[in-house]
A and B are shown apart, each in its own frame.
Chain A
Amino acid sequence: MSSDVIAVIDYGMGNLHSVASALEHVGANHVVITHDPAIIGDADRVIFPGVGAMRDCMAEIRRLRCDEMLLDIMQQQRPVLAICVGMQALLSHSEENQGVECLNRVPGEVRFFGESLQDASGQRLKVPHMGWNQVRQTREHPLWHGIEQDSRFYFVHSYYVHATQRELRAGATEYGVEIDAALARDNLFAVQFHPEKSHTAGLQLLRNFVSWSGEEA
């Protein structure tokens, strides 16, 4: 069990109980779902989740000043895990909702899969990218500990991340294009998939996060 306080940042977009339950399941016993800057400011670890449309997400993030809180946390070297739209919000810009300026904490783009997506054999691919796909770990990282190479995780998204600095990529997934399934920089780890819905592999990643020092190796 971990006595660390883990804050799940709640900016009003979607149900966050799943991620909190999954963290508790892997041994975190102080999980708080909140947008209170005082609690987030004191937390040992932070989860930055997100579902829904980017324009609404960014509006709520800014209204509740979660962008400033996040900047503080990242500078203080406390471990941060961003999930799905939470990951996308960290990039510079998203094509969703006719274009949305994002937090620009990680330089790069969030792009639409497109209406005519195909795999290598010319087979049409459906959008959203929904279901269990393989993640190739492109480099070693403490959050991959105990997770087999090419394990499947649960994805559901229509827009994908492409970071400008390719060395930040920690995981890659193929879906018509190669997407950044995971990014890592210092105390930040960001994933496009939903670890809280990814059964054994997802729970292992969350277990790794609960005990992560916030350093890359």
Chain B
Amino acid sequence: MGLAKRIIPCLDVEAGRVVKGVNFVDIRDAGDPVEIAQRYNQQGADEITFLDITASHEGRDTTVHTVEKIAVQVFIPLTVGGGIRKVEDIRQLLNAGADKVCINTAAIQNPDLVRESAERFGSQCIVVAIDAKRVADIEGTTGIPEPRWEIFTHGGRKPTGIDAVAWARKMTEYGAGEILLTSMDRDGTKNGFELGVTRAVSDAVSIPVIASGGVGNLDHLVEGIVQGGADAVLAASIFHFGEYSIPEAKAYMAERGIEVRL
């Protein structure tokens, strides 16, 4: 017995409202992130992640208020990501009640933001998000082609030329406490995690890795842990639309020998 593998439902929030909808039969307002977070909390989610996709500044203030409302009612860890540019953004979200923040594009533009915020607030609350896409293989040391993944920004449209595995190592050295790894090839496909990159990043770093992107069924969650070597699995639609509940997912994983919090 030991540390449980975590299941993390993810909500996309825009100006304080959940977008892409959530379809639980017995909630009043499918767009209310507070009500949805409470539901996942009751179901036994191990953490909740909020992805703020709001563009406007005013909308971001609304998100901060939403975090405040959730934090007084939901007593499991809450991660907030999206649109974080500077140390002040991080401070504001942590003060509102977020336990961790997730830094994505800003880490690429300014890696020192990760170092500075880890020193100021502690590594435990700094999650670095990596959006990876498979690119042409490279010739390995033995002459056999090896797969390679690059970081893409702008929803997977813009290549950065940065190797995803090397970047994960660098962010660990800079003080990240956790990596949220999303396969842009798989995100939204329901075909399962890209297990190659999950395993490569997981083996490369000493910090926990959350696998994300592509979950369509419960076997995918199992694969992310067993084959991908992830410490946690993040999913959105399979939980939102009631295809599977958190307890069903945990029972399924437990039957396959994965330690979970039941």
Interface residues of A (CB under 8 A from B): 14-15, 17-18, 21-22, 24-25, 51-53, 115, 119, 125-134, 150, 152, 154-158, 174-175, 196-199, 202-203
Given contacts A15-B96, A115-B206, A197-B99, 20 further A-B contacts (CB under 8 A): A14-B121, A14-B122, A17-B97, A18-B75, A21-B71, A21-B75, A21-B97, A22-B75, A51-B122, A125-B3, A126-B206, A127-B207, A128-B207, A130-B178, A130-B208, A132-B3, A132-B4, A132-B261, A158-B123, A197-B75
- Residue B6 is within 8 A (CB to CB) of chain A in the complex: yes
In the bound complex, residues from chain A placing their C-beta under 8 Å from that of B231 are: 126, 130-131
Contact (Cβ within 8 A) A152 B261: yes
In the bound complex, residues from chain A placing their C-beta under 8 Å from that of B119 are: 53
Contacts A/B (CB < 8 Å), 8 sampled? A128-B208, A129-B3, A132-B46, A155-B3, A196-B75, A197-B75, A198-B76, A199-B41
Known: A25-B75, A174-B1, A198-B75. A127 touches B124 (CB 8 A): no
Contact with A along B1-37 (1 / 0, CB 8 A): 1111110000000000000000000000000000000
- How far is A14 from B208 in the complex, measured between Cα atoms in Å? 22
Contact (Cβ within 8 A) B99 A128: no
Known: A132-B6, A154-B76, A154-B77. A18 touches B97 (CB 8 A): yes
Known: A17-B97, A130-B177, A199-B76. A119 touches B2 (CB 8 A): yes
Q: Which of A18, A115, A131, A133 contacts B232 (CB 8 A)?
A: A131
**Which positions 116-145 of chain B face chain A at CB distance < 8 Å?**
119, 121-125
Known: A21-B71, A197-B76, A198-B75. A134 touches B94 (CB 8 A): no
Q: Which of B41, B95, B97, B208 contacts A131 (CB 8 A)?
A: B208
Q: Top 4 closest A-B pairs, CB basis?
A: A52-B122, A21-B72, A132-B261, A132-B4
**Which positions 65-101 of chain B face chain A at CB distance < 8 Å?**
71-73, 75-77, 94-97, 99
Contact (Cβ within 8 A) A15 B95: yes
Interface of B, secondary structure class, is loop
Look across to chain A and name the residue whose beta carbon is closest to the beta carbon of B76.
A199
In the bound complex, residues from chain B placing their C-beta under 8 Å from that of A196 are: 75
In the bound complex, residues from chain A placing their C-beta under 8 Å from that of B4 are: 131-133, 152
- How far is A14 from B96 in the complex, measured between Cα atoms in Å? 11
- How far is A140 from B192 in the complex, measured between Cα atoms in Å? 46
B174 CB, min distance to chain A CBs, angstroms: 15
A112 CB, min distance to chain B CBs, angstroms: 12
- How far is A25 from B71 in the complex, measured between Cα atoms in Å? 11
Q: Most chain-A CB neighbours within 10 Å: which of B5, B44, B124, B232?
A: B124
Known: A53-B122, A132-B6. A15 touches B208 (CB 8 A): no
Known: A51-B124, A127-B207. A199 touches B75 (CB 8 A): yes
- How far is A115 from B231 in the complex, measured between Cα atoms in Å? 17
Look across to chain B and name the residue whose beta carbon is closest to the beta carbon of A113.
B206
A19 CB, min distance to chain B CBs, angstroms: 10
Q: Most chain-B CB neighbours within 10 Å: which of A119, A132, A154, A157?
A: A132
Contact with A along B42-77 (1 / 0, CB 8 A): 001010000000000000000000000001110111
Known: A15-B94, A18-B71, A128-B123. A175 touches B3 (CB 8 A): yes
- How far is A24 from B73 in the complex, measured between Cα atoms in Å? 10
In the bound complex, residues from chain A placing their C-beta under 8 Å from that of B72 are: 17, 21, 24-25
